[in-house]
Structure 1
Amino acid sequence: MSKRPHIRFIVNPTSGPKSSVDVAARIQQHLDHQKYDHDIVFTTHAGHAPELAREAAEKGCEVVVAVGGDGTVNEVARGLIHTETALGILPKGSGNGLARHLQLPMALDGALQVLNKGHITTIDSGNINGHPFFTTAGIGFDAYISSVFAGNKKRGLQTYVELVMKEVRSYTHLPVKASINGQELDTDCFVMAFANAAQYGNNAYIAPMADIQDGLLDVCLVRKLDFIKALHLSYCMLTKQLANSGSAEYFKTEHVQVQTEEAMMFHADGEYLGKAEAFDVQMLPLSLKVLVP
């Protein structure tokens, strides 16, 4: 590495809506080259970004920037947990949950200016069954929607809401047993979301009170849901009113354990991970450095 701080940009060429924007050209044009050296690398397969991020951190890179959506941000951040290298984000996805929570500009040029200013803070991260997450993880319906959404060619909030309205009619809530702060819950579960940040993405707020630096998960439990309640819940999420809606219950905790009678789907940062009958969810306080406005 040279004497100037080095930034590595990790680009997911398949992330987000199709765009004619030349990311490399924008970086060349708007990055402060008096302040930083940089390189740009492209992912070629799932799981490639953590390797590229970890490699950069080991070489002493000051900042590694995820250029893509929530999946790319998750992969890059995974490679940077508990290192001195900070995560930067150039939002290029359909949801951009962490970028929105951190109040980063959605425009590429504005996000590059955040990098130029170089303001670094430290945030919490979470872990569900060994899988790191930085915005939300969850079991139940939101994980099911993640699995369906992943196979859909259309992206964006409208597509997500349409899928929710279509699938909510046939999805069956399941019984779970959860241990939260020493309290044992034996309950039906439509969704149990574990929030580090306030929103899933697209300004859909599942836990509007969540603080990404308090070392605590905001656990959101929705026990049962029919179509009419789903409409109301969706509206409340988009207006930050879910906590006051009566549709969800909230708990703050460092650690959650959940047992299910049959395997339930789960996700981390919107990426569908499969099914399990036991879930261990915990916080890693102040474990990731990030660039913020």
Structure 2
Amino acid sequence: MPKTCFILNPAAGPSRRLDLPGLIARHFGALEADYEIRLTQFAGHAVELARQAAADGFRVVVAVGGDGTVNEVGRGLLGTDAALGIVPQGSGNGLARHLHVPLALPAALRRLARPSFSRMDVGVLNGHPFFCTAGLGFDAHVSRHFAEAGSRGVSTYLRVTLREYRRYRPVAVRADLNGQVLETDCYVLAFANASQYGNNAYIAPRADLRDGLLDVCLIDALPLGRALRVSLGMALGNLPQTRAAEYFQVPRGSVVARAPLGFHVDGDYLGDATEFAVELLPLALAVAV
């Protein structure tokens, strides 16, 4: 069994209502495993804890939390020999779902006790690494307001999405996708390393974590009829077949927006900008799955 460090975000999802350290001790302690649990104390702390855990010789460093915690732990492990593990405890759990990590805590821990090791690609948008998805436009706008909503969960996300759908307007952009230049309006421009945002909302169902390419989803406008097709296509995992969105596969790209445009990585809103650069780092992160 690999030496394992659990980095736990006590504020993520159901974590606030569970004795996660006790449950981890019950499962890993019974196996006489070599493990530690380290708790995050502030935003960005998991990056530091993951980097230190790798330096301390842990073979597997486990993000116990949501997509934000996974992103921080993954960032801390870039350039190290340690592998990322996931115990999903967030609202969306996008990367965990793509990797088929069990959502039930006991099953996720059993899987980590005897993991298989692999490697995955890593995306970078304006210098910010992402492991699942990143994007410009409406999804970033929703991420911003979801973070300000005061509550988490699917119902809150849907409520925020419906409210902001009535308010949001697309922005004109010039996108260079590995040499293919597009002059278009941008309602959503999503860069997908994994197939979904989370909660089985598949923005790029053909995305592959190990193919060296980003799946780019462009939606230039979202009138009501198309919005219904997009929503249904994401839920059923067949959005490309609906022709409600345009897709590209590229290793890198750049975007210039006519007005400031919000962007996010792994669901965390990072601000507005008018110039964006995105690239993929092939097989840059080890994972324990």
TM bucket (normalised to shorter chain) is over 0.9
Cα gap change, 1:35/1:211 in structure 2, threshold over 3 Å: closer, same or farther? farther
Q: Does 1:27 align with 2:24?
A: yes
Q: Does 1:176 align with 2:173?
A: yes
**Aligned counterparts of 1:24 and 1:187: Cα–Cα separation in 2:** 50
Instruction: Return the match for 2:211 from 214, 222, 244.
Output: 214
Give the C-alpha shift of residue 19 in structure 1: 4.8
Letter aligned with residue 175 of structure 1: A
Decide whether the 8 Å contact of 1:165 with 1:230 is kept in 2.
Answer: no
Q: Quick one: distance in 1 between partners of 2:175 and 2:69?
A: 30
Shift of 1:9: 0.7
Secondary structure of the corresponding residue to residue 102 of structure 2: coil
Paired residue for 2:4, among 4, 7, 18? Answer: 7
Of 250, 275, 280 in structure 2, the residue corresponding to residue 278 of structure 1 is 275
Q: Determine helix, strand or coil for the equivalent of 2:240.
A: helix
Q: Which structure shows the bigger proportion of residues in helix conformation?
A: 2
Paired residue for 1:224?
221
Q: Secondary structure at the match of 1:8?
A: strand
User: Who is 1:154 aligned against?
Assistant: 151
Match of 2:261 in 1: 264
Within-5 A mapping of 1:75-114? 75-114=72-111
> What is the match of residue 193 of structure 2?
196
Q: Equivalent residue of 1:221, what SS? A: strand
Q: Distance in 1 between matches of 2:275 and 2:252?
A: 14
Separation in structure 1 between the aligned mates of residue 15 and residue 23 of structure 2, nearest angstrom? 16
CA–CA separation in structure 2 for the residues paired with 1:230 and 1:160: 16
Q: Does 1:138 align with 2:135?
A: yes
The residue that corresponds to 1:64 in the other structure is 61
Shift of 1:179: 0.5
What count of residue pairs does the alignment treat as equivalent? 289
Asked if 1 retains the 8 angstrom alpha-carbon contact of 2:9 and 2:15, the reply is: no
Structure 1 gap segments, 5+ residues each: none
- Per-residue deviation at 1:131? 0.4
**Per-residue deviation, 1:28:** 1.1
Q: 1:262: Cα distance to partner?
A: 1.1
Q: What is the TM-score normalised by the length of structure 1?
A: 0.95
For 2:244 and 2:155, the matched residues in 1 are separated by 22
**Corresponding letter in the other structure for 1:103:** H
How far the C-alpha of 1:32 sits from its partner, in A, is 6.2
Percent identity between matched residues is: 52
Q: Kindly state the Cα deviation for residue 5 of structure 1 after the two structures are TM-superposed.
A: 3.8
Match of 1:31, SS state, is: helix
Q: Distance in 2 between the 1:74 and 1:102 partners?
A: 15
Which piece of structure 1 moves more, 4-13 or 262-271? 4-13
Question: Which amino acid in the other structure matches residue 26 of structure 1?
Answer: L
State the TM-score, normalizing by the size of structure 2: 0.97
1:35 Cα deviation (Å)? 6.2
The 3-state SS of whatever aligns with 2:86 is strand
How far does residue 82 in structure 1 lie from its aligned partner after superposition? Answer: 2.5
Write out per-residue CA displacement over residues 216-258 of structure 1, whole angstroms, 9 at most, x where no aligned residue: 0000000111233222211110110111111100000000100
| SS of corresponding position for 1:83 | coil
Matched, 1:39 2:58: no
Amino acid of the structure 1 residue aligned with 2:186: C
User: Can you list the C-alpha shifts for 1:42-100, whole angstroms capped at 9, x where unaligned?
Assistant: 11111110000001111221111101000000000100113210111111000000000
Instruction: Determine the C-alpha separation between the residues in 2 that align with 1:34 and 1:106.
Output: 21
